[in-house]
Chains A and B, each alone.
Chain A
Amino acid sequence: MTDVREAERTTRDAPSVVRTLVLWCPDWPVTAAVRAGHLDPEAPIALIEKGLVFACSAAARRAGVRRGLRVREAQSRVPELLVQPYDPLIDHRTFDGVVDAIEELMPGTQLLRPGMCAIRSRGPSRYYGGEEPAARALLDCLDAQGLPDSRVGVADGPFTAEHAARSTLTTPGRVLVVPEGESAAFLAPLSIGLLDDPALVTLLRRLGVNTLADFAALPAVDVHGRFGEHGARLHALASGLDSRAVVPRVPPEQLERVIEFEPPLDRVDQVTFGFRATADRFLDALTEAKLVCTAIRIEVRTESGETSERTWLHPRSFTASDVVDRVRWQLQGSGAIDSGLGSAIDRVRVAPESVDSIGNHEVGLWGGGPDERIHHGLSRVQSMLGHGGVLTAVIGGGRSLADRQTLVAWGDRPVPDRPADQPWPGQLPPLPPSTVFRAPPPVVVLDAAGRSVEVDERGALSGAPAAFAPAAATDAVRAVTAWAGPWPLEERWWDAETSRSAHRFQVVDADGTAWLLVLERGAWCAEARYD
């Protein structure tokens, strides 16, 4: 009786393990960076995240660079190391093309992470007459993609298959097939550290559990009682009973549009005119997918192979003419509409960067309120003066007045250059000046004896300011009735390029107008006026 119940329970609980084929491209972040940045794949390359090496190329690894090393140490081991910041977006974007190619060969691909994907092996192995030939076919496809380093593991469940693929680094051949039901034996000698839960791994190590086999040997009921649902799942992984299914990805709809110009066009207005129909098609496809677009990415390729990429935001959502405007602004920069281009354009691509449901952007029955009217009006001014002609402002942190105010073009996201919540010691007293000169006019400041006022290294004045005059017209002297200063400003002394050392003064002239004068590197200028 008990045996029957036990057997029933086992059959009900026994996870249905799916034979899985996992494809792995080692060092994918480096491969992606090489492809995106046109680097030499043979060179020692390291990708850095938060000051530590995140990934490195084979050449760098041979020279002793490891993941988790500090940048300085990696550079001391390999002086000619190419250091690049790690960008997960590039990983995803580059791997997308590979996944597309795989999907043409074997449908139903699940993207585990950039550089690794899982495929249910039943269909391909039946078609190619076995798991090994299917894996070979997949590798041939990747070789054609220029990825000769890729590996394939076939086993029960994605976890075992992934580690089968990884183990091919140490075994001859690029494919490892773990026969059905032998997953537990394959995993047994591997380290407990492969489980993706550092806290649990540390605890298990202290309990004397060092390999997956040790962990799998523990009774499942006890593991569940001690570590809960999550621990039980990891226990199942260690026992080779990976019940996760392979969930094929739904290929995203192609919303991007490309136009190629043959022959290439060398005038801005020709390109924008040629692009108009493409913009219409782009918007039609979005509308058909019941989407609106709030950010787009435009890539322009010139005849000589240069590409210019830029993301454009929109405060509401793009219309076809807005997209054409953005292409024009990207091409012309600050030039006029009929200006020529440095090199002829042969390809323009527009892709949506962030989309939203069309329902959230529907105009109300009585119009969209005042903001839409304002946006239309300002877009008109932008079409007259260019994208940067209409600005909105945001106040950030900083010590000088110019540092604190950030101006962004209408439609872009206003983010201050420097965080405002930092203390910024050395900033000006609270009353801000109402006029801040964009190009501070040079002035001369004189003491009572008519000598130029200077500040020495210890911050002492050579004399009290008695008068000042614009450097351009030194006879228009203004008498100083009150003054305060010098207030020293020392910024980034460790960086020769951006360091700043100045003394600031507030000065009131005989008319009652107050000025903010700055003495920097021996030269006086009027930075702002309190008028």
Chain B
Amino acid sequence: MPVSRLPAGHASAAATAIAAAAEPAGDAATTADTVRTLQSRIRQMQASKLDSRSIPTHPAIAELLPGGALKQGAVYSVDRSATLLMALLAGPSAAGSWCGVVGVPEFGIEAAARFGIDLDRLVLVPDPGEQWLAVTAAIADVMGVVVTRPPRRADDGSVARLAARLRQRDATLIVLGTWPQSEAMLSLSESDWTGIGNGHGHLSARQVTVTVTSRTHARPRSARLWLPDREAAFRSAGRVPQAAQPDLRPVLREAAG
């Protein structure tokens, strides 16, 4: 990425950061941290879509995402959890966006309505069959947010064409599963249910750790969320200490060491 494309302010900021990093570091770990910070800053500055607009996102999830919100024209991956998917859809739907759900026949309509997705602006295509890419693209033409679950890996050409179409139409694609060029990958872990015991009570709320892995983040960001709480709303339940997270980039540490 040529530096000349960056605005002057960003270039000078980068120079200062690099100068700061050049000072002798205490140990290998801090060096690795510095390298990661710098890499993420460089990526942020190199973002080719400086003017990309964001869509309304739930604040508890927004702070984990790169750029602080869901962006128009970008692709996000959600690992398995339908509740997390609905938490992502609730913000745009409440703000008036239409949402399309392609290839997810088991999407729980009632939960969607309960979590704040407007059913009047929700369209489902449960069985797109072999034409799932064409259907996803057609829905993305007219709707703000599209959810899809690829039945198999798409080839690179189709992915690139779809990405171009999303950028052109300012639609956000949320993929259930993995996607080659996703902006961020959201996953759930350590879910603790409350309200249910051994033979008594019923499911009423749960706390989960939501982890966002992103190309532009140095390390995965996590937060403890109520997903959902007792009022079927989503809210933050305090941050998880970073040390608890596994380091996903051992190669970098070796290189730095």
Q: Which residues of A contact B98 (CB under 8 A)?
A: 370, 374
Given the known inter-chain contacts A506-B196, A506-B203, please indicate yes or no for A378 contacting B110, CB distance below 8 A: no
Q: How far is the CA of A405 from the CA of B107 in the complex (A)?
A: 11
Q: Is the CB of A380 within 8 A of B198?
A: no
Within A486-531, the residues touching B (CB, 8 Å) are 506, 508, 511-514, 528-531
Q: Using CB atoms, name the residue of chain B closest to A516.
A: B203
Q: Is the CB of B143 within 8 A of A431?
A: no
Q: Which residues of B contact A378 (CB under 8 A)?
A: 123, 139, 142
Q: Which of A385, A437, A512 contacts B125 (CB 8 A)?
A: A385
Q: Is the CB of B108 within 8 A of A433?
A: yes
Contact with A along B69-87 (1 / 0, CB 8 A): 0000000000011110110
Nearest Cβ in chain A — how far from B136, in angstroms? 10
Nearest Cβ in chain A — how far from B252, in angstroms? 30
Q: Is the CB of B108 within 8 A of A436?
A: yes
Q: How far is the CA of A125 from the CA of B115 in the complex (A)?
A: 74
Q: How far is the CA of A410 from the CA of B192 in the complex (A)?
A: 39
Q: Is A391 an interface residue (CB 8 A)?
A: yes
Q: Which residues of B contact A374 (CB under 8 A)?
A: 98, 142-143
Number of interface residues of B (CB under 8 A): 56
Q: Which residues of A contact B202 (CB under 8 A)?
A: 429, 431, 484, 506
Q: Is A432 an interface residue (CB 8 A)?
A: yes
Interface stretch among B12-20, B38-46, B48-56, B127-135?
B127-135
Q: Is the CB of A395 within 8 A of B109?
A: yes
Contact with B along A341-380 (1 / 0, CB 8 A): 0000000000000000000000000000010011011101
Q: Is A483 an interface residue (CB 8 A)?
A: yes
Nearest Cβ in chain B — how far from A416, in angstroms? 11
Q: Which residues of A contact B191 (CB under 8 A)?
A: 511-513
Q: Which of B83, B138, B189, B198 contacts A377 (CB 8 A)?
A: B138
Q: How far is the CA of A528 from the CA of B109 in the complex (A)?
A: 12
Q: Which residues of B contact A469 (CB under 8 A)?
A: none
Q: Is the CB of A531 within 8 A of B111?
A: no
Q: Is B114 an interface residue (CB 8 A)?
A: yes
Nearest Cβ in chain B — how far from A138, in angstroms? 54
Q: Is the CB of B124 within 8 A of A407?
A: yes
Q: Using CB atoms, name the residue of chain B closest to A440.
A: B106
Q: Is A12 an interface residue (CB 8 A)?
A: no
Number of interface residues of A (CB under 8 A): 47
Q: Is the CB of A484 within 8 A of B199?
A: yes
Q: Is B155 an interface residue (CB 8 A)?
A: no
Q: Is the CB of A384 within 8 A of B131?
A: yes
Q: Is B33 an interface residue (CB 8 A)?
A: no
Q: Is B232 an interface residue (CB 8 A)?
A: yes
Q: How far is the CA of A529 from the CA of B208 in the complex (A)?
A: 16
A interface residues with partner B (beta carbon < 8 Å): 370, 373-374, 376-378, 380-381, 384-385, 389-395, 401, 404-405, 407, 410, 429-438, 464, 482-485, 506, 508, 511-514, 528-531
| A-B pairs with beta carbons under 8 Å apart, 10 shown | A384-B135, A391-B123, A391-B126, A392-B122, A392-B124, A393-B122, A395-B113, A430-B232, A482-B197, A530-B83
B interface residues with partner A (beta carbon < 8 Å): 80-83, 85-86, 98, 105-115, 119-120, 122-129, 131, 134-135, 138-139, 141-143, 188-193, 196-206, 208, 228, 232
The 10 closest A-B pairs by CB, nearest first: A377-B142, A512-B191, A434-B82, A429-B202, A432-B110, A432-B111, A405-B109, A393-B109, A434-B111, A434-B83
Q: A374-B142, A435-B108, A438-B105 provided; 20 other pairs, C-beta below 8 A?
A: A374-B98, A381-B138, A381-B139, A385-B128, A401-B108, A405-B109, A429-B202, A431-B232, A434-B108, A434-B115, A435-B106, A436-B107, A436-B109, A464-B199, A484-B202, A506-B202, A511-B191, A514-B193, A530-B203, A530-B206
